[in-house]
Amino acid sequence: MNQSLKVIGICGSLRQHSYNKLLLQAAGKLLADQVQFSIADISGIPLFNQDNEDPLPEVVANLKSAIESADALVISTPEYNFSIPGVLKNAIDWLTRPAGQNSLNGKPVATIGATIGGFGTVEAQLHLRQVLSVLNMYVVNQPMVLVAQAHTKFDDEGNLTDQMAQDLLKQLMTNLVNWTQQLKK
């Protein structure tokens, strides 16, 4: 496809062995022949405080720079209390600051998620898509990748083993690449 496209993944979980990070890695493997893919680290981002945005903390400035250089994003979110984790919302808030400097503006984005629960991350992804749409991102809506019972869907090496999840993830990544290429025309 197009090696010149750069896609960055953001994991909404800080857990070292996060299923959402594994899901992002699976997405990256699917994109390997098509784009440059990397995963951004949001673990060191301080809690948002407008008093601390001038100058931006270095870790935030670095994240904003990386996101601004990307053509598209993939955000993998767990579901905490039927919504997105605070650390993910915090990173998104920083990426839109200072006022008028929204690093997410106009970016294509795909959302995915994994949870050990039985319903996937449907509520979290709905909330996330609402936030991303308000920030003027182009959300790829289909197919939804909702990996339920994630503890049974990855092997000991962290590979996604569920064929249906693999197929949906592959289709979503293809849709993201195609959508991104269309927007760049």
Q: How far apart are CA 14 and CA 28, in angstroms?
A: 18
155-166 residue pLDDT tens: 999 999 999 999
Residue 4, pLDDT score: 86
Name the pLDDT band for 3 (thresholds 50, 70, 90).
low
Beta bridge partners of 140: 110
Q: Is the peptide bond between 55 and the residue preceding it cis, with omega within 30 degrees of 0?
A: yes
Q: Where are the domains of the chain?
A: 6-184
Q: Which CATH number fits domain 6-184: 1.10.10.10, 1.10.3720.10, 3.40.50.360, 3.40.50.300?
A: 3.40.50.360
77-135 residue pLDDT tens: 999 999 999 999 999 999 999 999 999 999 999 999 999 999 899 999 999 999 999 99
Name the pLDDT band for 34 (thresholds 50, 70, 90).
confident
Cβ atoms of 39 and 6 closer than 8 Å: no
pLDDT at 1 over 80: no
CA 148 to chain centroid: 17
Tokens 């993910």: give the residue: 88
Q: What is the pTM (predicted TM-score) of this model? A: 0.96
Q: How far apart are CA 84 and CA 176, in angstroms?
A: 21
Q: How far apart are CA 52 and CA 38, in angstroms?
A: 27
Cβ atoms of 6 and 36 closer than 8 Å: yes
**DSSP state, 53?**
-
